[in-house]
Amino acid sequence: MSKQTVFTGAGVAIITPMYADGTVNYDEFRRIIDDQITRGSDAIIACGTTGESPTLDHEEHVEVIRVAVEQTAGRVPVIAGTGSNDTAYCIQLSKDAEAVGADALLLVTPYYNKTSQRGLIAHYKAVAEAVNLPIILYNVPSRCGVNIQPDTVVALSKIPNIVAIKQASGDFSATARIAAECDIDIYSGNDDQITPILALGGKGVISVLSNVIPTETHEICQKWFDGDIAGSIAMQLEYLELANSLFCDVNPIPVKEAMNLLGWNAGPCRMPLYEMDEAGKAKVANALKKYGLIQ
């Protein structure tokens, strides 16, 4: 029996807007959530990398998730980023996210201390057994220094509430093996690789680009599902330059710059993330101008 799909389409890896002093701007966060849902985002992913989870303290982390759940009000799923390189803390944070109403969890691989493939299985199994929510594995070796091997995904997919993987490895051969051998949904973790993942049977994307153009990112996926393969590919390629501009510096520095230019009170990133130099700012601004998003 197939597992239940958390969402299909484009889920936004939403920013956490902040005031100039670095405190969370919950009022603006609510406004951004409403705009995202109105413009077609299929899920809200709170407290991911783009939401600056590494520099949110525990109370802030849980409150951002709680506010996302409250503001979304069941219109789309809320997926809470609760991954950690401390399994005990990952369990605690995951339980707290479940308690405030999250629909699913996004769990990045343990970073810095890392672990073996056997350790990954033990880590994810421990978290899965501690909660009732569906879990999306998050594989991003460029950030974490550890890669979830296909055989490991096969083993983890046998755990009932591990239902999906966000693939940001760029390894399409590994992704194809996962698609062939696992009962697990696959989401692209890279905005420049949405259609390739869809071509392997993927369910959509967990997207940085959706912060800036939620409607169009949704449409890349929807056209594919509607059978307009050529249209989906055309849109993927059309917005490639914009997607790439949002990674001209460390995420989420460029996307926060873009959101500020678009008129949102996104605010600064928390250190150690630091504002871009003038060349980076110009690259983001020029991309937004090219696509007619700002004057």
Residue 166 falls in the annotated catalytic set? yes
Dihedral angle at the C-alpha atoms of 202, 208, 209, 212, nearest 10 degrees?
A: 140
| Tokens 């678009």 -> residue | 262
Contact 95, 131 (CB under 8 A): yes
Contact 84, 73 (CB under 8 A): no
Contact 268, 28 (CB under 8 A): no
Taken in order 221, 46, 118, 191, is the CA torsion positive or negative? positive
Q: How far apart are CA 117 and CA 148, in angstroms?
A: 7
Which distant-in-sequence residues (6+ apart) come within 8 Å of 285 by Cβ?
261, 294
Residue 114 falls in the annotated catalytic set? no
Catalytic residue among 138, 203, 239, 281: 138
Contact 175, 190 (CB under 8 A): no
Catalytic residue among 124, 166, 223, 256: 166
**Token pair belonging to 109:** 């691989």
Contact 137, 124 (CB under 8 A): yes
Contacts 24+ apart (CB under 8 A), 26-35: 26/63, 26/64, 26/67, 28/264, 28/265, 28/266, 28/267, 29/64, 29/67, 29/68, 29/71, 30/67, 30/71, 31/264, 32/211, 32/259, 32/264, 33/68, 33/71, 33/72, 34/71, 35/214
Active site residues: 138, 166
